[in-house]
Structure formats: structure tokens, C-alpha cells
Amino acid sequence: MLPLSNKPLIERHIEHLKKFGILDFYINLHYLPELIKNHLGKGEKWGVRIHYSYEPVLLGTSGALVNFARDLDETFIVLYGDVFTTINFDFFLKFHKIKNSHATLLVHKTDHPEDSDLIALDKKNLIYQFYVSPHKKRVINTDLSSAAIYILEPDVLKFIPEKIPSDFVEDMFPNLLEKGFKMYGYLSAEYTKDMGTLKRYEKVQKDFKRLNLK
């Protein structure tokens, strides 16, 4: 609900994704759930359908999908609530389909690899290793990290535990890799930043005005 140019980020998510034909939204709630529900309603204002789930105890980034698993029966996008992006999802989805990928992660170079979760890709952008922070030793073969936007196929949902917390990068994705699932990294220079701290939020606000982002 934090505003960017007088409009909540979550509203910008809906407007941006709708440009690419995405009409069904599944929003997981925890903190101040009624504030979000009262603002967005069922999505009529934007011509979309919004479905909610309330999570009294947080189950982690991947665990949050458990309550929606029954409805996610086709290719779907996961977008974290504190990430602002201008990415072209048509291109992102096309890459995912061409690669016949089970899970495709938006990745970008990080300027602080020493304390980031890192991802190693081969020459075809196939993911072959995850390095979860904190690192036991310096990682020298990659400076790529997850941008917290994923395209997933429904068959990966069966690997999410139902009653215990789980995280995409720490738990689910390494597990999928170990089981032989094809996972790819999608490199894009389009603007994508997380706003998870006050400093990062202020940075995105400045970039929004400076770059005339929409």
C-alpha cells in the first residue's frame, strides 16, 4: 500500500500486469489485511478478479502459495508485494515457454553479491546452482541474484510443504533443481527494484520521478 506518485504499489502491480492480459490476481494477506481488501475490493475498478487468502502465521515466500494451490492450474506469475517493476511480461512469458521451463526467475546483477542469494546460469541461461546467503566462502562464478519475480508451472506446487514455512530460494528452488526440474534465469535490464526497506523505498521514489517511470 506504500504510494508511488500518489498510487499504492499494489495498484500499480494490477494495472501493469493487466496490460499483458492478466486478469486473475491472488493476494496473500497478513498485516492490516482489511486495509488492502477495502482499497482493492474484488477488482471491479480495474476490470480484474481479485482473490484473497489470510495467513495468520507467515509460511514463507513459497509457503504463501499453499492456500491458492487448488486454483493455480496453469502457468502463473509470482510477484512479491515490495517489488516495483516495469518489465515486459509478454517477453518474459515467451522466454519461459520457449525454454519449456518449470520455473523461470527474473535475475539481475547485484552490486552486493557478498550478502545476496546468488544464482549461477550456464550459456543457455539454465540454472545450475543456488548460493544462499550467508555464503560459507566467496562465490566467484556469478554476481546474479533473484529479482523476486517468477513464472511457474503448476506441477511445482506439490513440492511446497503445507504446514511448515518454506522459502523459494532457500528451500523450494534448490529442491526442484535437485529433482531435475528445468529452471531458467531471465536476464532483463528493465527497471526492477525491491522497496523492502525505507532506504530502498526512497530510492525507488527518486527513480520514479527521475526516469519518468509509470
Positive or negative CA dihedral for 138, 144, 147, 150? negative
pLDDT at 112: 75
Residue 158 included in any domain: yes
Report the alpha-carbon angle 79-126-112, nearest 5.
60
Residue 43 included in any domain: no
Judged by DSSP in three states, 52 sits in: strand
The total of structural domains in the chain comes to 1
pLDDT at 138: 79
Residue 70 included in any domain: yes
Residue 129 included in any domain: yes
Residue 15 included in any domain: no
- Give the mean pLDDT per block of 10 residues along the chain (214 residues): 91 96 96 94 96 92 92 96 95 97 94 81 94 79 90 95 89 93 94 89 90 78
Residue 32 included in any domain: no
pLDDT at 143: 86
Taking the CA atoms of the chain, what radius of gyration do you get in angstroms?
17
pLDDT at 160: 92
- Contact between 181 and 140 (Cβ < 8 Å): no
Report the alpha-carbon angle 133-102-18, nearest 5.
95
User: Domain holding 71: CATH number?
Assistant: 3.90.550.10
Model confidence, pTM: 0.93
- Contact between 32 and 52 (Cβ < 8 Å): no
Judged by DSSP in three states, 92 sits in: helix
Domain that residue 166 falls in: 59-210
Residue recorded with cell 475490493: 41
Q: What is each CA distance from 195 to 132, 145, 168, 202, in whole angstroms?
A: 21, 16, 19, 8
CA nearest neighbour of 186 among 108, 110, 83: 108
Residue 202 included in any domain: yes
Contacts of 122 (CB under 8 A, 6+ apart): 128
Residue 102 included in any domain: yes
